[in-house]
Chains A and B, each alone.
Chain A
Amino acid sequence: MRLELDEYAYLDSPIHRWDARAKLIGLLAIITSFAFVEQLQYVPAMLGVTVVIYALSRLPVSFLTTRLRYPGIFILGVVGLLPFLSGSTVLWSWGFLSLRQEGVMAAALVVGRFFSILTLGLVLFGTTPFIAQVRAMRSLGLPGILADMLLLTYRYLFVLLEMLTTMRRAMRLRGFSFHPSRFNLQDLQRLASLMGTLFIRSYEQSQRIYTAMRLRGYGALPHRHITPVAQRQAGDVLWHRFGLMLALLTSAGFLIADGLWSGVAS
């Protein structure tokens, strides 16, 4: 699984050009409405909206597949048994295994929601540089300290991963190899000390970073002025507003339709 979310943030597409704040509000509204969808008949529409937004973003398909792989395995592991365990309407049975309609529908709903929400999340973070994303959150009211913590976490996650890779390489070069089939207590101790060392190193580095920040005036003023994001062109403003309105309407549409259907069904 790759972590660098904003490696395609510098492409040119309508979604990339969409103002970071409008995009954040718009896509989060759609994501929230998708999370509330409970009727299976809206899943194709949900997937359709997701595919259209992803296509508009011009992000490569490989960006999505590499990042969905591990969460996908996890979700399949979680919902994989649902079609066989949940519900009473048997669609097909083979020995003790019975495929049940309610379980299939619940699994399809979960998988549909999972795919749509994760894909839109990737569009949100993949089409805006992380720094612009955090600034957008900050201008929408995220406290400065949380914004700084987000930025630093994102920045140093890669440093820690690099550290971990180097340490694992050093272990391998001195003959250590981890095989789950030949797993023993000594391996566990070695992995635990690897993680412990990584933890201590990251703690020490965080102290040095904080010292470096303080020495350059961090916290000297109650409110730090942040260089504004580049000025937008007038023509873009229409698109920012239109895009936001469309996203909010889509989100409201899903919420109302799902609510109405639930009302009719009950």
Chain B
Amino acid sequence: MEWGRVMIGETDINAILKSQPPTRSAMAPAAIALANLSFSYPDKPNVLHDLNLDIHQGERVGIVGYNGCGKTTLFMLVCGVLTPSTGSVALLGEPVAPGRFRPDIGLVFQNPDDQLFSATVWEDVAFAPENMGLSPEEVEARVRSAMQLTGTEALHQRPPHHLSGGEKRMVAIAGVLAMLPQVMIYDEPTANLDLRARRRLIRFLQSSPQTFLTSSHDLEFILEVCDRVIVLNEGRIAADGDPAQVMRDRVLMEASGLEVPHSLTHTHRSEP
């Protein structure tokens, strides 16, 4: 199988996946806009409380907070899996209707085993384009392109459940990229990754042109890939701003159940 430039007629799929997002302007709608968003589970009230947030196109936003502070719930609301208790979510200027399929947003789950269900890697990556009713040629082009970008071409015939953790993560990302989403959401993408796979993921995200939102307990990872961080605490936004600036604030971080990342502490142990 050849893995070169992927064309459909006059359209270069690789170029679409690698293209830069539109620059922020007064006219361009926010990639994600939350207005007075609140959410409660029947047994857990106020998981998210009155969130107001605009994420602009091209931004790379990290969401940090302790376990159970509402990060995954927020992602599910943005994708339309959950219905807000009050308030609204808009994606690229269009309200998110719960349950409606939106190929312009992709969610990469925390556990790739929840996402990789097909018999081979190729079939898994083809799952979304096939659901979108694309022609077999376009499905193939999108699969090739997504696998090229994530470096998973060599795995195309392997069953997903036989892959390593890092490989599964990249295949899961390829499966979502094949929809050509404009906004990507990564839920704890560094969970269970070894150092090499984590570094590969960081390089991939640093070169990724999409607007993205990622949650992680790995604050060094957030520092490396995000240009904005949001600290969630008890369902509210405790801070929003430049990652290094926000995460250097020890009082804020400790009040939010977090720690200042090691690289920002400026304390170096001397070698014995």
* Chain A contact residues, CB within 8 Å of chain B: 129-131, 151-152, 155-156, 158-159, 205, 208-209, 211-221, 224-228
Q: Which residues of chain A come closer than 8 Å to B115, judged between CB atoms?
A: 209, 212
8 A-B pairs closest in CB distance: A217-B131, A131-B119, A216-B128, A208-B114, A220-B101, A212-B115, A221-B133, A217-B101
Q: Which residues of chain B come closer than 8 Å to A215, judged between CB atoms?
A: 79, 81, 101, 106-107
A217 with B120, Cβ < 8 A, contacts A208-B114, A224-B131 known: no
The answer to whether B179 and A217 have CB atoms under 8 Å apart is: yes
* Chain B contact residues, CB within 8 Å of chain A: 76, 79, 81, 99, 101, 103, 106-107, 109, 111, 113-115, 117-120, 123, 126-128, 130-134, 136, 139-140, 161, 175-176, 179
Write the nearest CB–CB distance from B91 to chain A, whole angstroms: 13
A227 with B119, Cβ < 8 A, contacts A216-B127, A217-B131, A221-B133 known: no
Q: Which chain B residue lies CB-closest to A228? A: B136
A155 with B161, Cβ < 8 A, contacts A209-B117, A220-B101, A221-B132 known: yes
Most buried by A among B114, B140, B161: B114
Write the nearest CB–CB distance from A57 to chain B, whole angstroms: 21
Q: Which chain B residue lies CB-closest to A148? A: B117
The answer to whether A227 and B131 have CB atoms under 8 Å apart is: no
Q: Which chain B residue lies CB-closest to A225? A: B130
- A178 vs B21: C-alpha distance when bound (angstroms): 60
Write the nearest CB–CB distance from B267 to chain A, whole angstroms: 38
The answer to whether A131 and B161 have CB atoms under 8 Å apart is: no
- A225 vs B127: C-alpha distance when bound (angstroms): 10
Cross-interface CB contact of A155 among B76, B81, B119, B131, cutoff 8 Å = B119
For this complex, 21 residue pairs linking A to B, each with C-beta atoms less than 8 Å apart, are A151-B118, A155-B161, A159-B161, A208-B114, A209-B114, A209-B115, A211-B81, A211-B114, A212-B107, A212-B109, A212-B115, A214-B81, A216-B127, A216-B179, A217-B179, A225-B136, A227-B123, A227-B126, A227-B130, A227-B136, A228-B136
- A220 vs B111: C-alpha distance when bound (angstroms): 24
The answer to whether A217 and B161 have CB atoms under 8 Å apart is: no
- A151 vs B130: C-alpha distance when bound (angstroms): 16
Cross-interface CB contact of A156 among B117, B132, B133, B179, cutoff 8 Å = B117
Cross-interface CB contact of B119 among A130, A209, A214, cutoff 8 Å = A130
Q: Which residues of chain A come closer than 8 Å to B127, judged between CB atoms?
A: 213, 216-218
